[in-house]
Structures are given as C-alpha cells and as structure tokens.
Structure 1
Amino acid sequence: MGSEALSSGQGARERTLDELRKRMAAVPGRGESTAGHMPREQPLRRDLLPVPPPLADLLPEGGLPKGSVVAYTGAHSLLTGMLAAVTGNGGHAAVVGLPRLGLLAAAEMGAELSRLAVIADPGPDPAEVAAVLLDGLDLVVLGLGGLVVPPSRCRVLAARARNRGATLVVAGEWANPTLRLDSRVTGYRGLGPGRGRLRSVCLDVRVSAKAGQTRHGRMDLCAQLGRTEWLSPETRTRPAEVAALHEAVS
C-alpha cells in the first residue's frame, strides 16, 4: 500500500514537471516582445535584467546579472518590484513557492501579468520546479519555505542558471550566491494619525557582492494615481498632506 502511494505521488510529480517543460517550450525567446507590445521603460539588456530604479543605483552593474543566483531576505515588496520590472520591459518570469506574493501589487507596479507564471504550491521539491523554469524564463523567484538546499545542489542549479542565461532569486538560504540582497521595512507614511490612508512604505536595502563593498540605500514605495512607484528619498516629492511617519518592523 505504501509503495503504491509513493509510486502514485512520483507519477503526479513527473506529470507536473512534464507539463512545465511543455509550457517552457512555448515561451518566446528571452526578451522578445509579443506582437503589439512595447517595453514600458528600457528593453532587456543582453547581460542584465532591469530592476526598480532605486535598486539599480545600489547594484554593482545597475541590474541583475543574467545567469546569476541572488539570495534574498526581507520584505516581499522588493521581490514584486523585480518581477514587475522584468515583465513590464518585455521579459518572462515566474514565482515559485510564495503564495502570499500579490498579483495586484505586481500589476500596480507595472507588471505584465501575461508574462508572469505563478506556482504557489510547487510540492515537496520547489528547487526542482525552479530548475525546469530556468530553461525558458528570464527571471525565476523561488521561495524555499524554510527548506535547506545542500551546497552541492546549489552549485548544480547555479550552473543551470548560468548555462541558460536566466536569473534565479532565492528567498531563503543559499550557498555562495552571486549577490545577497536584504530589505527591511523602516516606516510608513500616510494621511492623518492612527488609521490614516497608507501613502508610502520606506525600505532600507543592503546589497552584498562576492567582490566589492557592501552597499546600503533607502527607497520608498509610493502609491500615486492608481500606480505604485519606486522612488529614492532624493527624488520623491512629498505630498503636503502627508502628516506622520509611523515606525514599523518588517
């Protein structure tokens, strides 16, 4: 009985992976726009993926290197911003194992949802699902849900990302990534005391690369006329009615 259940589970897993492979085969070439679609900001570069502008200022090369692995900790909003930047500029992306990552928030940041695949429940081995997705997408965001991936397997997936020219962002622990990003919510701004309407979220971000100094920066996620925009403190225009800064934790 136990062996039959195990065999059935393995069969379902293989069918799921086969279906993902078929879907990957149908995805247009990386960075290609579908008919009638024009990138919102800049087209995908050959060697870098676009990111929200304030984050670009912190990254050593101004974007996420293609073929790299990025270890990420902190607020999900910055992950959503990365997905929006890539799909909004003509790329294809997927998010695996992060069911709380909101599609509405991504759309308000400018994401092209037709270019974004969501696998909320990847099963017991989310890393294997991510490995399949790396074959056909520009960016894969992987949530490990507390699982630990052995260093030997991290090296295998890193090699796969490098060979496919795809970028893997891992929300969780990862051995020897190209970059480490950490974001922390430091405050909110809104209208009125107490229960006023939220207007912006303030993030502190730290970027660590294998070589070079760690960089720190601050950025604001601001709601403006139905859209959500990423602004640095230097470029953000504060509405006159913003009344208070409420201290918070991520």
Structure 2
Amino acid sequence: MGSEASSPEADARELVLADLRRRMSAVPARGQEATARIPGEQPLRRDLLPVPAPLAELLPGGGLPKGAVVAYSGAHSLLAGLLAAVTGDGGYAAVVGLPRLGLLAAAEMGAQLSRLAVIADPGPDPGEVAAVLLDGLDLVILGLDGVAVPPARCRVLAARARNRGATLVVAGGGWTDPALRLDTRVSGYDGLGAGRGRLRSVCLDVRVSAKSGRPRHGRMDLCAKAGRTEWLARDTMSRVAEVTDLREAVS
C-alpha cells in the first residue's frame, strides 16, 4: 500500500485530482446565474434539472432530480440532449469516460460548450474523478464501460451527489439502487433513401422507471432543422411498461 501511494501513477492521479479541485473552486455557485425564460413558460421546480421536452413528459415532476443518481442505458444521443438542456439553461455539466459522446451533436441541440467539462480518459478510478466534479457542477455523466460498481461504492457516490445537490448519471454499467432508470433504444430512422438519402430524424423508444410508481414509456424524434437539432414527442404515453420489451423494437 505504501509503495503504491508513492508510485508515479498515484502521484500523477493526485495532480489531476488537485487540478480538478482548483477548477471546481472557480465555478460560480449554483443559483448565482439565471437564464431568461419564455414568458408564460412553466418554471421548473428548484429541485429538478431541465431535460428535453419530450422526456420531461415521462419524468416524475418533469425533470431530473437534483442530488440523485440516474442509471442510463442505450443511445448516446439522449445523453447529449441532457447536456444541452442543462448547460443551455445556465447550468454546468461534465462528461467522464465517454470519449465517443459527440460534442458537435450536443452543440447542435443547444449545449453551451463553455459550461461543459470533458474528461475522456479519467484513468483507473473514474468514480473518484466524478466525485470531485460533483462538488461544483449541476450534472455529471459518468461512463462505466460495462463495469458493475460495488454496492458500497454506489452508496458513497450517491451520498456525495445528495450532499452536493448534484445529479449523477451513470451510463453503460451496473449500479445498485438508482433513483431513476432511463433505457433508450433506436427504433427507426427517417429520410434514408437507397443509399443516397439524407438522414432527417431518429426515433427513440424511452422507458423511465422510478423507485415508486409504474414505469412510463414513450417515443421521441430527434430531428435536424436548419443547423439545429430538436427533440419532438411522438405518441408519448404515460402507461405501464407491461408493454413489449423495447428490444423487440430494434431490428
């Protein structure tokens, strides 16, 4: 243990974490900045983070709960939508361990990249990096790369998120007892033609499962319009998820 603590790898990791902590201290405190809203628009509850409008219809309260852990699986496009919704509304976010998550796609959805930190390679302990980021950011998306996090570590990180009032989204791995589960599947495309057409939209099937209440299921389209990418609801349903498993919607 002693030799590991003084190894070059451990020293480099401590330097990275120290740098992250310095950067977190420079981030404005949550709530200091506000974003102007459209007149008549229903304000979001203070204990929720904004999400794309079609997803809000499926979530309890209409947003992601602050201070909670959300387990996510499926298409990265909705993760980009979460980043766009939070940073576009004046919040700060980070992506850890997801090098293939498209920042261009997030920007086309309205993300403010100046409010977004990206740690593509967090090293051997991405959870420790995420824990530091939770100190100062509103949303942290952590890629687990197929790893199942031990229950004791889940409890530690969940407590960190709760105490800091930040939302942790864990993607692509196993997590014990999250507040919400979001599962997405691409169920179709529109605009492709004989190998030469242009992709106009992607349809996602989304399932939301909370600790209490029955799961909700809905469909939403991700549409390209004049250099922007918009989310549109398609036959959104707040019904129980005894429906056909979402995997059957994917060929």
Could you state the TM-score of these two structures normalised by the residue count of structure 1?
A: 0.88
AA partner of residue 71 (structure 1): A
How far 1:249 moved relative to its partner?
4.3
Counterparts in 2 of 1:170-209, with a 5 A limit? 170-171=170-171, 172-190=173-191, 192-209=193-210
Partners of 1:191 and 1:53 in 2: CA distance:
26
Partners of 2:4 and 2:65 in 1: CA distance:
44
Give 1:140's aligned residue: 140
Matched, 1:102 2:90: no
AA partner of residue 201 (structure 1): V
Give 1:220's aligned residue: 221
AA partner of residue 173 (structure 1): G
Partners of 1:76 and 1:14 in 2: CA distance:
30
Partners of 1:175 and 1:191 in 2: CA distance:
40
CA offsets per residue over residues 7-49 of structure 1, 9 Å max, x none? 110000000000000100000012433xxx8456677642000
Partners of 1:4 and 1:191 in 2: CA distance:
54
AA partner of residue 76 (structure 1): H
Aligned partner of residue 61 in structure 1, secondary structure: helix
Partners of 2:120 and 2:232 in 1: CA distance:
29
Give 1:68's aligned residue: 68
Aligned partner of residue 214 in structure 2, secondary structure: coil
Aligned partner of residue 192 in structure 1, secondary structure: coil
Give 1:50's aligned residue: 50
Aligned partner of residue 233 in structure 1, secondary structure: strand
Partners of 1:110 and 1:31 in 2: CA distance:
20
Relative to 1, partners in 2 of residues 1:147 and 1:46: Cα closer, same or farther, differing over 3 Å? same
Counterparts in 2 of 1:231-246, with a 5 A limit? 231-233=232-234
Aligned partner of residue 198 in structure 1, secondary structure: coil
Relative to 1, partners in 2 of residues 1:4 and 1:139: Cα closer, same or farther, differing over 3 Å? closer
Give 2:231's aligned residue: 230
Give 1:243's aligned residue: none
AA partner of residue 179 (structure 1): L
How far 1:192 moved relative to its partner?
3.3
Matched, 1:82 2:82: yes
Give 1:155's aligned residue: 155
Partners of 2:32 and 2:118 in 1: CA distance:
20
Give 2:59's aligned residue: 59
Q: Which runs of 5+ in 1 are unaligned?
A: 236-247
Matched, 1:211 2:202: no
AA partner of residue 26 (structure 1): A
Percent of counterpart pairs with the same letter?
Answer: 78
Q: Is the 8 A contact 1:31 1:92 kept in 2?
A: no
How far 1:6 moved relative to its partner?
6.6
AA partner of residue 9 (structure 2): G
Q: CA-atom RMSD, angstroms?
A: 2.2
Could you state the TM-score of these two structures normalised by the residue count of structure 2?
A: 0.88
Q: Is the 8 A contact 1:40 1:88 kept in 2?
A: no
Partners of 1:28 and 1:6 in 2: CA distance:
34
Partners of 1:5 and 1:154 in 2: CA distance:
24
